[in-house]
Structure 1
Amino acid sequence: MNKEVAPQMVCIVGTGDFGSSFGKRLLRSGLAVVFGSRNPKRVSNRLPEGAQVLSVRQAVAACDIVVLAVRQQHQAALEGQLSSVINGKILVDVSNTEKTPVQGSMPNTSQLHMLYPQTSIVKAFNMISAWSLQAGLDDACKKVFVCADDVNAKRKVMELAWIMGLEAVDKGSLANAKELEEYTHQLFPQWRIPMRVTLGLLLVFYIYTIIQDVLFSYFEHGMDRSFRLAISLPNKAIPSVALTLLSLVYLPGTLAAYIQLRRGTKYSTFPPWLHNWLLVRKQLGLAMFGCAGVHVIISLAIPLRVYVYWKWVLSIKQQIDGNWTTTYTSIDFWQRDLYLIFGILGFSILVLLAITSLPSVVNSLSWREFHFVQSKLGWLSLLLCTAHTICYGRLRFLRPESYHWGIPPLYIPALMLPCITISLKLPLLLPFLNRELRMIRQGWTRSRPRAEIEMFHS
């Protein structure tokens, strides 16, 4: 074998989907690849062109870095073929457990270390799918978490990831391997709380509208309005959820500001509930954007409904039969136009907020630009969407007939949290509070002289 090629050659033990995709990625990156298989002749025709295929023993003996791309339950069966040639090499474990590990169970890397104690075990690449390696990697799936006890082996595997165009992240020693394996069994872990909040609000608001609209009409007037369950009532509940979620995105930052002002420092931890709330703001925002988008689509489809067309024709007939005309004042026209323009502007900013949350867009923005869009424009969207809801309700909250069974229209409880959030934000805009908060977030503490932080940033 050519001695100049040998250091660049990577061995892959395993010819399944992941091993084949991994080898193809290595070849595209300019590295030589040799596959180790128990049946080299049978699998050679379905492996990437340009890769060698040898027996497991021969392939491992030819390389310094060995990628073990076989399932956990099949790893022990390779012990006889690996034990005599694997010592002193770097063994990269890319496997995951088939089921969620039980408490106290050993990670795969610990079992490999027991089988091959003279080998440098490295856990890496277990969180990248075969499909991603073949289809091309975007910013969302470029991270490779690497952990190992051997610092030199870890460095070489991280260099291998960089050559492949991946972003290697050092996760410390092999003690963290179990955490990496368990993470792959979690389904959208950061979305659990936001989705529960979103679905909970949808259920509560939807039931609220059913009680106030359908049940009230049936029991008090004998009218069957169950057809409103499909379009009309969701188009009341969904925008109410969107406005509430938008408030939940900006309320925790406001509460954090008051805590920092009270403590006079940013170097003390927030309460756990607030800390966790701050971590899921992005997910809450995306759930909010989804609800707002559905509201826009339903609103555009409402004129297509037979019920709306029938109601419009019936209104015209009643005016003709009664020889009367519906009158509108300038104030009515203003309220309806403001209702539309506030909604359009608010949703347009929400679209911008959603776009700037994409990793590819975030990487192209400076911190000041990102903060301006997500904070300044975000608060503006909250103001516009709140004004949109107020214009929708107008003065109907003053009419007793709007309170069915004493229950206020849904837009009133939907406005409570946004109004509280905006009210809490307004005092923070006062110059003396805003200046102190800005200094605290720059590192100044109330126990230190103010001039110290100013000198630090001068």
Structure 2
Amino acid sequence: MLLGKLRKASEGRGRMSGGDMAKPLLGHRSAEGDPTAPAAGRTIGVLGSGDFARSLAIRLVCSGFKVVVGSRNPKRKAGLFPSAAEVTFQAEAVKKTDVIFVAVFREHYSTLCDLADVLVGKILVDVSNNTEINHHKESNAEYLASLFPACTVVKGFNVVSAWTLQSGARDGNKQVLICSNNQEAKRTIAEIAQVMGFTPVDMGCMSSACEIENIPLRLLPAWKIPIFLSLGLFLCFFTYNLVRQVIHPYIREQKNKFYKIPIEVVNTTLPCVAYVMLSLVYLPGVLAACLQLYYGTKYRRFPDWLDQWLQHRKQIGLLSFFCAALHAVYSLCLPMRRSHRYQLIETAVKQSTLGFVALLISTLHTLTYGWSRAFDENQYKFYLPPTYTLTLLVPCTVILAKVVFSLPCIHHRLVRIRRGWEKGRYVKFVLPSATGEYSSGETSSHV
């Protein structure tokens, strides 16, 4: 009997697993969450036969769309596209669909003017980019809309690379920026993007197309200011150390020490840059706290320069760590007695709670190392103070400000401001009575 029950149970599981395996695990979802997306099985047209058009056709076919590719030489280009995609002439491809991806360059838009009568009422998706930022007065999408006024133009998919289209939306940024003056057209393209596995982002009307086209041309925009800042500090400290360590001995003592430039001068400069950059990570927070205490509210906007500074703190901290790591590598190239002098405390920098601890330890190390040298006349070459005295200005300012802000009378006020308290504003609370009803009197509370 037991064997019979086990046999029946295994047969039931086999029937259940077979039925479940026949169903797809994941279905396409539309913007409203419907598992049967209205875009499934829809015919999508692609005008162009380049790399991006081929990657777009592959991704559309894998997402369940019927793809018609319009090319000027369909016989020669048919082998480059998947077999499920139909490659035909441009006029034939336009007639078979209402949504068309225009995967051609801006200078080739005029070749599509012969199709103007067939394109009436179609949705044209412009996926092109410029070669330079603000290269033209109007965006490519606006130019395409001026050539085909009877069509609805949507800007989108230009921030997605051909590699991302082929490999899917697993890697990199999944966002697809979309803009158009027609809400229904934007909704249609957004549904297609969702079925393809991307996340559509509505960027507004067609006037946003110029900004969308400039995005792929910006290389690491958040790193531009920090990199220039670090290079500027490096040049300043390098010139200062060059004068003290090389130029001064050459002029006063006729000693040729130019051999120190590649290793020792650079190795003296790198910790200075790392130390100052680390202190610049925490200085904007100190300035922001001063402004909040002065105005008595957190709802007043910071100046633009301070806002940009606060947003670039992570990049500044990473560049500080990079300079400290280079200092460690350079120290290994020096003799042991020399590398022992340049103890690297900054390598412990991590932009978290330990970051300020690293700044404090670095400051104590610098003060201990150079306290006796600060009062030595021989250290003031060309009447220039030692380099480490210059690096102490910003870190000491940050540390003293942190100490002042930690005082209870200031710390409590700053915490209340950051929790929403405003100077000169009063909030009245009505305390309920013991019976559960509100009392007639009011108790004022200054929050």
TM-score by length of 1: 0.78
Alignment of 1:178 with 2:210, yes or no, is: yes
Q: Is the 8 A contact 2:40 2:64 kept in 1?
A: no
Counterpart pick for 1:299 among 311, 328, 331:
331
Offset at residue 205 of structure 1 (A): 0.5
Structure 1 equivalent of residue 126 of structure 2: 93
- Residues 61-82 of structure 1: per-residue CA shift (max 9 Å, x gap): 323321111100001211212x
Counterpart pick for 1:71 among 81, 94, 105:
105
> Aligned partners of 1:60, 1:31: CA distance in 2, in Å?
16
The structure that is helix-richer by fraction is 1
> Aligned partners of 1:298, 1:446: CA distance in 2, in Å?
52
* Unpaired stretches in structure 2, ≥5 consecutive residues: 1-37, 430-443
Counterpart pick for 1:251 among 274, 283, 287:
283
Provide the aligned length of Structure 1 versus Structure 2.
395
RMSD over aligned Cα atoms: 2.9
Deviates more, 1:105-114 or 1:28-37: 28-37
> Aligned partners of 2:304, 2:135: CA distance in 1, in Å?
26
1:196-215 correspondence to structure 2 within 5 Å: 196-215=228-247
- Aligned AA for 1:282? K
Structure 2 equivalent of residue 360 of structure 1: none
SS at match of 2:179: strand
Distance 1:173-1:227 versus aligned 2 partners, 3 A rule: same
Counterpart pick for 1:37 among 61, 65, 71:
71
1:141-152 correspondence to structure 2 within 5 Å: 141-152=173-184
Name which one, 1 or 2, has greater alpha-carbon Rg. 2
Q: Is the 8 A contact 1:94 1:125 kept in 2?
A: yes
Q: Is the 8 A contact 1:7 1:63 kept in 2?
A: no
Offset at residue 209 of structure 1 (A): 0.5
> Aligned partners of 2:376, 2:267: CA distance in 1, in Å?
22
* Unpaired stretches in structure 1, ≥5 consecutive residues: 313-335, 354-372
Distance 1:5-1:397 versus aligned 2 partners, 3 A rule: closer
Offset at residue 423 of structure 1 (A): 1.4
Offset at residue 201 of structure 1 (A): 0.9
Q: Is the 8 A contact 1:12 1:35 kept in 2?
A: yes
Distance 1:247-1:451 versus aligned 2 partners, 3 A rule: farther
Distance 1:65-1:438 versus aligned 2 partners, 3 A rule: farther
Alignment of 1:13 with 2:64, yes or no, is: no
> Aligned partners of 1:399, 1:190: CA distance in 2, in Å?
43
Distance 1:302-1:253 versus aligned 2 partners, 3 A rule: same
Counterpart pick for 2:86 among 45, 52, 55:
52
Identity of paired residues, percent? Answer: 39
Counterpart pick for 1:121 among 153, 156, 170:
153
1:288-327 correspondence to structure 2 within 5 Å: 288-303=320-335
Q: Is the 8 A contact 1:5 1:32 kept in 2?
A: no
- Aligned AA for 1:383? L
Distance 1:380-1:5 versus aligned 2 partners, 3 A rule: closer
Distance 1:137-1:217 versus aligned 2 partners, 3 A rule: farther
List structure 1 runs of 4+ shifted beyond 6 angstroms. none
- Aligned AA for 2:139? P
TM-score by length of 2: 0.80
Structure 2 equivalent of residue 428 of structure 1: 405
- Residues 17-76 of structure 1: per-residue CA shift (max 9 Å, x gap): 111122223334343332211111111112245322122222233233211111000012
SS at match of 1:222: coil
> Aligned partners of 1:96, 1:167: CA distance in 2, in Å?
20
Structure 1 equivalent of residue 420 of structure 2: 443
> Aligned partners of 2:62, 2:191: CA distance in 1, in Å?
16
Deviates more, 1:288-297 or 1:44-53: 44-53
- Aligned AA for 1:112? L
> Aligned partners of 1:214, 1:150: CA distance in 2, in Å?
67
Alignment of 1:418 with 2:395, yes or no, is: yes
